[in-house]
Amino acid sequence: MSDERKRPIDREKYRRTARNFTDKNRSAEDAENQFEFTRSREEEREFGTDPNTGSEINSPPEEQESISNFRSTEEPPRNSGGGGFKSFLLPLLAGIIGALLVLGAYLLFTGTDDNGETEESAGEETASEVDSNQDLSEVKQQLEEENTDKVITDTTAAVQKAKPAVVSVINMQRIQSIIPGINSTSEEAEEAGSGSGVIYKTEGDTAYVITNHHVVDGAEEIKINLESGDSVDAELIGSDIWTDLAVLSIPSDVVETTIEFGDSSDLLVGEPAIAIGSPLGEIFSGSVSQGIISGLDRSVPVDLDGDGSNDWEASVIQTDAAINPGNSGGALIDANGRLIGINSMKVGIASVEGIGFAIPVNEVEQVASQLEENGEVTRPFLGITLQDLLNVASSSVYDQLQLPEDVKGGVIISGVQENSPAAEAGLQELDVITHLDGEPINNMVELRQHLYYVKSSGEEMTIDFYRDGEQQSATVVLE
């Protein structure tokens, strides 16, 4: 286990305030209706990263051991004269026998192993190590045996089964000075943001952690804080901006357990859902919130580059389990403690409550496998830059297209890369794509989804488009 420990809480340095947090892409109006966790005024920084920005203020207080010492407090009766050596010897033997009886009783009721550790302390260590491959009933039985004075529910057992595999992920960067007129960068990487992650696999000396792309985006170093309190360095294996997933690796010898995968295709609306993660940073690491599955196969528009235009539609699970900044990359589990999704985002408007989203675990498995193998997700390449037709409907560019009145949707080609499949097929700038393989295409999101989810590299794809008001067709061979 690593000797590097999390820093203790500086209670004078941090305090809670009733202010609002926001994503970098959200409007100021939305930000006024949200909540944030900030530092004291003299040390407040503005990192400009994402809503998972938090402070490393976790470290639980040091554990205190209570040691019971057994000693004899009896004194031999005083010699009142007479009896000599015999009167001294008998009380001494009685004292020795009494001490041996006390020691024997202590060992009998506590017991020791070969290493001198008591069975009681060994039991405490075992209690924290729950095997993810155990059935929920086995986990529940184990908890009941260790907590005879408590009522253990299925929810408690599910959380205890999955929780050791959920970690905090710290994004470390060299921060530039925010003092006007001073342009400097910190020599050592500092915490620029934080989120959560899930240990899902061990292989030899390596353990693999899944988290969100936006949690580790721009990181120069990445640290993982385990539930045990240990902190280890992580290596970025691969990341994918489109699915918002990333895979990290850490040494396997620090890992107690991995999470069990469920099946997101078998989910039903209304069944329990439990979110585990580190909302608002390390201070609330390992937090658990419960809700239900509120919706399946939701499509949520995502602006990846911050230009105000949607670049993608994420296919997600909707839940009303509380998901806050810092929960991103954490686990959404079912009633059996199995992973059903990776928490990714929420609706953060004042008038909206309880709408959070998670990436389905079936997609997580597919993407994680490719990131492990290739460091990236391989997708078909067409070689064009795009713009939605609706975005230029009221501009002079629209008149140049000379489109028929019945063409209301499509994608304008704003650039063609040399020697790309699109260039070889004869596509040009200002061509308006309306169909792919006969399927209507109304915007960039639909084009990318058809290209990434329906097609594969090496396949042919038919493109219907308008050029100078005339409808044409071309066949491309995707790379």
Partnered with residue 384 across adjacent β-strands are: 416
- CA atoms of 161 and 168, how far apart (whole Å): 17
The conformational region for residue 354 under phi > 0 = left, psi -120 to 50 = alpha, else beta, is: left
Helix or strand holding residue 160 (H, E):
helix 154-162
Residues 360, 315 contacting (CB under 8 angstroms): yes
To which residue do tokens 């994420």 refer? 314
Residues 409, 459 contacting (CB under 8 angstroms): no
Residues 289, 319 contacting (CB under 8 angstroms): no
Distance of CA 76 to the CA centre of its chain: 66
Task: Collect all residues with Cβ–Cβ distance below 8 Å to 349 and sequence separation of at least 6.
Answer: 30, 33
Cα dist. 280→22, 56, 243, 253 in Å?
12, 10, 23, 28
Residue 91 tokens read as 């009380």
Residues 259, 276 contacting (CB under 8 angstroms): no
Partnered with residue 416 across adjacent β-strands are: 384
Residue 12 tokens read as 């004078």
To which residue do tokens 């041996």 refer? 100
Catalytic positions, written as ranges: 214, 244, 328
Helix or strand holding residue 214 (H, E):
helix 213-216
Taking alpha carbons only, the member of 230, 216, 207 closest to residue 169 is 216
∠ CA 167-156-366, rounded to 5°: 45
Distance of CA 108 to the CA centre of its chain: 46
Residues 190, 45 contacting (CB under 8 angstroms): no
To which residue do tokens 């990131």 refer? 371
Task: Collect all residues with Cβ–Cβ distance below 8 Å to 241 and sequence separation of at least 6.
Answer: 213, 217, 304
- CA atoms of 58 and 262, how far apart (whole Å): 30
What is the widest separation between alpha-carbon atoms in the chain? 130
